[in-house]
Chains A and B, each alone.
Chain A
Amino acid sequence: MSDVTVDIAAEAQQGWQQPADAAALGGRGSVDDYWALMKPRVMSLVIFTAGVGLMVAPGSIHPVLGVVAILCIAVGAGAAGALNMWYDADIDAVMQRTAKRPIPRGNITRGEALGFGATLAFGSVIVMGLGVGWVAAALLAGSIGFYLFIYTMWLKRSTPQNIVIGGAAGAFPPMIGWVAVTGSFDLASVSLFAIIFMWTPPHFWALALYKVGDYERVNVPMLPVVAGADETRRQIWLYSLALIPVTLLPWMLGAAGTTYAASAAVLGALFLLGAWRVYTLREGAPADRAARKLFSFSIWYLFLLFAVLLLEQGIWPLVSRGLGL
């Protein structure tokens, strides 16, 4: 790290120190700070994909237990977010994108974040186990542990493949939702996992392309930092090509119908178009715009893909039964 980086980090670290009486008060963090610690925007996509997994799984679950399962997955994701911010507080303080998080701002101490995250993690797994089932609980514990120990602590700062392997953590929720209903794994649930797993690298590398300076400053070996922007564009294109057939797996395995398959094909074509623009536009503002557009679109892409699956396999069967069709 450069001296400048160290200085900034040292200053930020001083900002985490709270007055002695703050501890006696139970800290200075507001409810909003603790909410921010749970990464609510990430949590919303987790809730949605977990809900889709739960709704499209074969079999049924009592609605109350379904809500409990989703709640546990959401709280587990929030716990993982808080634990990530606890561990990454040093680099969060230096990166422009994360400098306003509660720990770098000095509103919450690292210890408070650790305690908060650990409590939520433990609580979400226990409630999932007691209320819904221990297979789903084990999977939830595994996903939190994977995000914290494998991605945050190990891979993120050591390899440009961090997001490829670490992406598995974000791919667990629909599988956990599915397992909450069935109590066991099957290929169709793994196909939902595979979709998010393959989607994560192009999604995250698009962001890393225009935030490369942030990652450089903190020595996180994201692909654009280590291999350069052109290689990252090539990898985005290759992973996008690989993603499209993976999104058709639920249809091939009989877990989705033709509406889903057609939608996945159309959305896939749009995703490829965005990835191609990132691959071909390499200089100046147009290159930056292409990366930003792909990042934004990738979020909508995943949302729409799962929304169609939900409508076709989760909601339409209920409606058609209700209408006597």
Chain B
Amino acid sequence: MNDEDSARRRKRSIAIALVLGALVVLFYVITIVHMGPGVINRPL
């Protein structure tokens, strides 16, 4: 593995991490939007 391959792998890993993080946020936001204001109107 040369330096260039290593740099590419590192950038790919960062990109995958960012995409996975974005997906987590996306699913969270979609869930909140689908539940609507009712999300805070529940018995504790």
Show the binding face of A for B, using Cβ within 8 Å.
Answer: 21-22, 25-31, 34, 62, 64-65, 68, 71, 127, 130-131
Contacts and interface: CB of A to CB of B under 8 A. Distances in A.
Interface in B1-44: 1, 5, 8-9, 11-12, 15, 26, 29-30, 33-34
Nearest to A21: B1
Give 4 nearest A-B pairs by CB, closest first. Answer: A131-B30, A30-B8, A31-B15, A64-B33
B32 to A, nearest CB: 9
Contacts of A30: 8, 11-12
B30 A31 contact: no
Given A21-B1, A25-B5, A28-B5, A130 B30 contact: yes
A34 B12 CA distance: 9
Nearest to A64: B33
A114 B15 CA distance: 19
Contacts, number: 35
A109 to B, nearest CB: 14
Contacts of B5: 22, 25, 28
Chain A at the B interface: SS class: helix
A71 B26 CA distance: 11
A127 B1 CA distance: 36
A25 B30 contact: no
A323 to B, nearest CB: 28
A64 B34 CA distance: 10
B1 A64 contact: no
Given A62-B33, A64-B33, A65-B33, A26 B26 contact: no
18 contacts: A21-B1, A25-B5, A26-B12, A27-B12, A28-B5, A29-B12, A30-B11, A30-B12, A31-B12, A31-B15, A34-B12, A34-B15, A62-B33, A64-B30, A65-B30, A68-B30, A127-B26, A130-B30
Nearest to A32: B11
Contacts of A21: 1
Contacts of A27: 12
Contacts of B29: 64
A18 to B, nearest CB: 10
Contacts of A25: 1, 5, 9
A22 B8 CA distance: 11
Nearest to B7: A30
Nearest to A24: B1
A131 B26 CA distance: 9
Given A21-B1, A31-B15, A127-B26, A26 B9 contact: yes
A209 B9 CA distance: 41
Contacts of A31: 8, 11-12, 15
Contacts of A62: 33
